[in-house]
Structure 1
Amino acid sequence: MKKLTKLMAILLVLGMVFAMAACSNTAQKEKGEEQPSGTDEGAGEGTAGDLADIIPEETVTLDVYTQLANYSGEQIGWFAQVMKEKFNVKLNIINEGDGTFATRMAAGNLGDIVVFGNDSDEYIQAIKAGLLLDWEEDNLVQEYGPYIWEHMQPALEKNKKISPDGKLYGFGHNVGTSPEEHEAFFYGPFIRWDLYKKLGYPEVNTLEDFVGLLEEMVRLEPTSDTGAKTYGVSMFPDWDGNMVMMVKATGALYGYDEFGFGLYNVNTQEYEDALKKDGMYLRALKFYNQLYQKGLLDPDSMTQPYDAMIEKYQTGAAFFNIFDWMSMGAYNTPKHLEQGKAMLPLAAKDQKNLAYGLNVYGGNRVWTIGAKTNYPELCMAIINWLATPEGTMTSFYGPKGVTWDYDDQGRPYLTELGEACMADGNTQMTGGYSGTFADGANQINNTTWSKDAVNPEASNGDTYNYLRWETRLSRPVSEIEQDWRDRVGALDLNEYLEKKGHVSVALGTTYSEPPKSDELLVVWNQVAETIKTYSWKAIYAKSDAEFDAIVEEMIQKANEYGYQQCVEFQKEQAEKRASLENEVKKLIEE
């Protein structure tokens, strides 16, 4: 008999809680008892009376400082309406601009709801400065976050362990339900399948083979829907961190996960610094430079914002991307599918695409509440609702009964409007909700549960990921999508990559990068700026010789700033990460 570990015991208890909750709901329905309605509905188990007491009579504006937002200003559209209906609040989104964190720290007020991009440096600084609320003070989370308290204990315990004072300040994003499963793949690569088909399905053995393929595609279709010039790839700098985002993320096609100044090979558990000669980062950097030299890289890539980039994928101005939402999600509208056009996955033969293991401890993007808020209970109730099945589904797909619902068998499905919204974010909302789906999307831009966590309200065990729902995979698809299915022998991206063996899994652990010393942080920031600046210069090099010269200068400059200090720090962290992964492996094996 398998040994029941402490973690699996916790998960078993959580499963029993889900089952008991489901039985309770069923019993209520059989007795004819009504569920809480109005602003109380779905806000969290056992909070109906308490929640009614904290809903403000007059609309309140809450400041939501989120380091993950691509938007700044008042939340608009359908999500704003949902927040108004349920909690009588408006959300003022404050994103992360230059100096935003430092300015708010100096003012002594981060906001009402605060979302951190990671659980390391700035998050720890905020705790030490006393600017985050202790969730257990006055039983705040127990009373106003009961769903979180009952179903996310491992994630809450992780948060307490990484807090410098051992107190509970929140939980990390993408909480999972089982360490044995992985999230759906979202790394590609994804290409214009209709053009690939016209070219006769040429063989692609490795990353660099895509250069020639994209060259042929551009020859086939030199202009976009709007008449603009087409390119192989369009990039943007908004999400650059320690390195250029699109470059480092390309390593995911071979099992590499971003890790400080470099990449972590999840298969070998080895750290590879970004500037390693013949390493993955420089290989990917060269790949994008080759595209540029052949006129296949959008020349606006270094300066354009995300919105400008995604519009080019929406209108068919670029043919290759490594993210599913920037490719299939942007391009595969009903109109394009009817025209026999689609972006779909094509893995090179040597790829080992990265997927993230479900993490019962949660990720590193933390939900917290500002210590200076005048509405702690209200903030907690909102975060709690976002963690309920209804809140999770709403945040992903829109209002229940309008864009999604459960069928008579209890299986989740998208309505006709929901399907249209997922295919094209510019779809106009109906059912009493204004604006387009994209305009009204949740601008906090953080998750509670992983999309691939099991939805306890789904009768068939479906996850929150609509792409994998039974009701969706059984539907007929367009002719071009069926061509892809027939060619690869799979129904979707996940089945395709798993069948072909293109799988690398980054196990979910309690690993959290520790804060850096002030001295290291100065070095780190200088090195980061150097690597980003010179990486973009290298991408735009007009020849191989110029590319090599820029890379050499980048290495030299980075070393002058103290790059090796950063590498040594990251090597130590890689050993810790590997050790924690090995613990999870033991749990899975037992």
Structure 2
Amino acid sequence: MKNFLAVLLLFCMALSVMACGGAKNGQDSTTEPSGTSEASKDDTGGSSEEGAKDNLADIIPKDTITLDVYTQLANYSGEQIGWFGQVIKEKFNVKLNIINEGEGTFATRMESGNLGDIVVFGNDSDEYLQAINAGLLLDWEEDNLLQDYGAYIKENMQKALEKNKKISPDGKLYGFGHNVGSSSSEHEAFFYRPDIRWDLYKKLGYPEVNTLEDFVDLLEKMVQLEPTSDTGGKTYGVSLFPDWDGNMVMMVKATGALYGYDEFGFGLYNVNTQTYEDALKKDGMYLRALKFYNQLYQRGLLDPDSMTQTYDEMIEKYKTGAAFFNIFDWMASGVYNNDDHLDKGKAMMPLAANDQKNLCYGLNINGGNRVWTIGAKTNYPELCMAIINWLSTPEGTMVSFYGPKGVTWDYDDQGRPYLTELGEATQKDGETQMTNGYSGTFNDGTNKINNTTWSKDAVNPEASNGDTYNSNRWETRLSRPVKEIEQDWRNFTGALDVNEYLEKNGYISISIGTSYSEPPKSDELTFKWNQVAETIKTYSWKAIYAKNDDEFESIVEEMIQKANDYGYQQCVEFQQEQARIRTSLENESKQ
């Protein structure tokens, strides 16, 4: 009888728990989202797309909650502010607490057993795989989470989801990579290209530039023409910064992109020949670019603060005309070409040397390596999925890039996307104040998660004319008249924009999008890798500041010797094998 009563008591307790709503992950069903109800499911046991929309209303919290977003890509920490924060609150009644990647952050959060609610990884190898193995990421297919609250992702990003399952150690689905492409036959817009001060180039009579090295003489003449910046400081050919250095000095290795080289471990991958070239190869691309920046330094054309200044300090110099050459569009024309400069007949515009093959990336329907995931310990799995799903819709994508719909962008009566007057202003100057009830400047409110869902050059299915998400290529913008100095560039190149200019002149190399993902390294190799990376970065900067050619060569020789002592060859062998895998996947994509 005692045993019977005990069993009866347990049965009654179980019924009581079920009646309270069966909240998952420890959430209280009276205050937290309760998950998918039986009423929302279709006859197959899953949820229809319409049902998923109905479910969304059920999971919006009555009281504003805060979600922790741990993102390894963020340059910001704290509550998401400004217009993006307001849009998220309006749609989901949620505040986002951004947690960026500081020293030891990942290890600390792993040790705590809770990475956050929404988790964004900077790559899909080492730490991402560690998080899966530790059980700290949510399986998106568990309890029909993706089907019920990620319907747009499920329907439109199938290849990216398949890639994620393939690289997962247990074959489960934990998210998808960034920059998903709409078609494997298209490529992204060029952002690697040499921007120069076009007004000064015009004054010099448009001299021919045959090679990278020819820019040195050209920049010297430009500095002679304009020796002071807007603020009265000295001008230089180039200004660099160390903040983004990884395995190598970032600005040095990225210069290889002007010749079709993509960073690949300790070296560069030539996307035209499909061959790997280690960074320290004599007469290789990395050392060629290193010599280029040293030549600028020897001529007094390299900003002497390059090795110590921050990214923001460097950007300010390009913004005020203190440097005349950069290999990234957003660091050069993107910040210099404001209305004031353009009205004065000044602009930074692209000029390719005759031997260049500028790298651009083919759209990758498999997605990139920066992964959107959900933490396993979140109390709000449905809400996290719904937010990521919305960010993957055309509206969410456009909002992330340009701001609130109807305020900074919209569709015209023909269904073509366009920027409003405010939108145009914010794209020219991120410090433009927002209006229509949105606080702060445009830059204040940008999406601090700092990751994308769709590639900016993917086709926007809501654009009636087939435009992509990239506003620089919108029909409504290319058809507008431009400033006199911009028209001069168009007349010289015979092109409306940089994409047309580089494509029609054959200055193009396309990195084919594949499902390649770098595997984790052994602890022993990781130790060697880190020592080699520090050596290459340290000695590369020393070589840039070499006072003459003999000193440059001596520093390079010492760099090679020390790197080899730390195990450089083992790192190269690892990367050579990865190159073979990458090439194989590229060849499969061509078929």
Aligned partner of residue 138 in structure 1, secondary structure: helix
| Shift in Å, 1:459 | 0.3
* Pair 199,46 (structure 1): closer, same or farther in 2 beyond 3 Å: farther
Partner of 2:7: none
| Shift in Å, 1:454 | 0.5
Aligned partner of residue 443 in structure 2, secondary structure: coil
Is 1:308 paired with 2:296? no
Aligned partner of residue 303 in structure 1, secondary structure: coil
Partner of 1:583: 588
Matches within 5 A, 1:93-492: 93-492=98-497
Partner residue of 2:568 out of 558, 563, 575: 563
| Shift in Å, 1:558 | 0.7
* Pair 383,218 (structure 1): closer, same or farther in 2 beyond 3 Å: same
Quick check: 1:192–1:342 contact (8 Å CA) kept in 2? yes
Partner of 2:5: none
Report the Cα distance in structure 2 between the residues aligned to 1:516 and 1:569, rounded to whole angstroms: 9
Deviations 1:296-328 (A, max 9, x none): 112222222211111111111111111111111
Report the Cα distance in structure 2 between the residues aligned to 1:98 and 1:302, rounded to whole angstroms: 21
Quick check: 1:45–1:146 contact (8 Å CA) kept in 2? no
Q: Which amino acid aligns with 1:76?
A: I
Q: Which amino acid aligns with 1:288?
A: Y
Deviations 1:81-101 (A, max 9, x none): 111111122222222222221
| Structure 1, 551-560 or 489-498: larger mean CA deviation | 551-560
**TM-score normalised to structure 2 length:** 0.90
| Shift in Å, 1:536 | 1.3
Partner of 1:13: none
| Shift in Å, 1:46 | 4.9
Q: For structure 1, which runs of at least 5 residues remain unmatched after alignment?
A: 1-43
Q: Which has the larger radius of gyration?
A: 2
Aligned partner of residue 57 in structure 1, secondary structure: coil
Partner residue of 1:75 out of 80, 89, 108: 80
Report the Cα distance in structure 1 between the residues aligned to 2:247 and 2:382, rounded to whole angstroms: 36
Q: For structure 2, which runs of at least 5 residues remain unmatched after alignment?
A: 1-48
Report the Cα distance in structure 2 between the residues aligned to 1:292 and 1:96, rounded to whole angstroms: 33
Aligned partner of residue 272 in structure 1, secondary structure: strand
- Cα RMSD (Å): 1.1
Deviations 1:251-282 (A, max 9, x none): 00000000000000000000000000110001
Quick check: 1:46–1:146 contact (8 Å CA) kept in 2? no
Report the Cα distance in structure 2 between the residues aligned to 1:234 and 1:88, rounded to whole angstroms: 43
Report the Cα distance in structure 2 between the residues aligned to 1:118 and 1:443, rounded to whole angstroms: 18
Partner residue of 1:502 out of 494, 504, 507: 507
* Pair 471,143 (structure 1): closer, same or farther in 2 beyond 3 Å: same
Deviations 1:390-410 (A, max 9, x none): 000000011100110000000
Aligned partner of residue 65 in structure 1, secondary structure: strand
Deviations 1:545-580 (A, max 9, x none): 221111111111111110000100000010110111
Partner of 2:60: 55
Q: Which amino acid aligns with 2:437?
A: G
Report the Cα distance in structure 2 between the residues aligned to 1:179 and 1:192, rounded to whole angstroms: 34
* Pair 484,46 (structure 1): closer, same or farther in 2 beyond 3 Å: farther
Partner of 2:96: 91
Partner of 2:526: 521
Partner of 1:37: none
Report the Cα distance in structure 2 between the residues aligned to 1:275 and 1:334, rounded to whole angstroms: 43
Quick check: 1:334–1:420 contact (8 Å CA) kept in 2? no
Q: Which amino acid aligns with 2:248?
A: M
* Pair 203,46 (structure 1): closer, same or farther in 2 beyond 3 Å: farther
Report the Cα distance in structure 2 between the residues aligned to 1:240 and 1:56, rounded to whole angstroms: 42
Aligned partner of residue 444 in structure 2, secondary structure: coil
| Structure 1, 50-59 or 147-156: larger mean CA deviation | 50-59
Report the Cα distance in structure 2 between the residues aligned to 1:300 and 1:444, rounded to whole angstroms: 30
**TM-score normalised to structure 1 length:** 0.91
| Shift in Å, 1:53 | 1.6
Report the Cα distance in structure 2 between the residues aligned to 1:73 and 1:313, rounded to whole angstroms: 28
Report the Cα distance in structure 1 between the residues aligned to 2:371 and 2:396, rounded to whole angstroms: 17
Report the Cα distance in structure 1 between the residues aligned to 2:71 and 2:239, rounded to whole angstroms: 26
Aligned partner of residue 368 in structure 1, secondary structure: strand
Partner residue of 2:545 out of 540, 543, 550: 540
Aligned partner of residue 135 in structure 1, secondary structure: coil
Q: Which amino acid aligns with 2:188?
A: E
Partner of 1:19: none
Aligned partner of residue 97 in structure 2, secondary structure: strand
Q: Which amino acid aligns with 2:329?
A: D
| Structure 1, 334-343 or 264-273: larger mean CA deviation | 334-343
Report the Cα distance in structure 1 between the residues aligned to 2:196 and 2:466, rounded to whole angstroms: 32
Report the Cα distance in structure 2 between the residues aligned to 1:239 and 1:339, rounded to whole angstroms: 33
Report the Cα distance in structure 2 between the residues aligned to 1:293 and 1:349, rounded to whole angstroms: 25
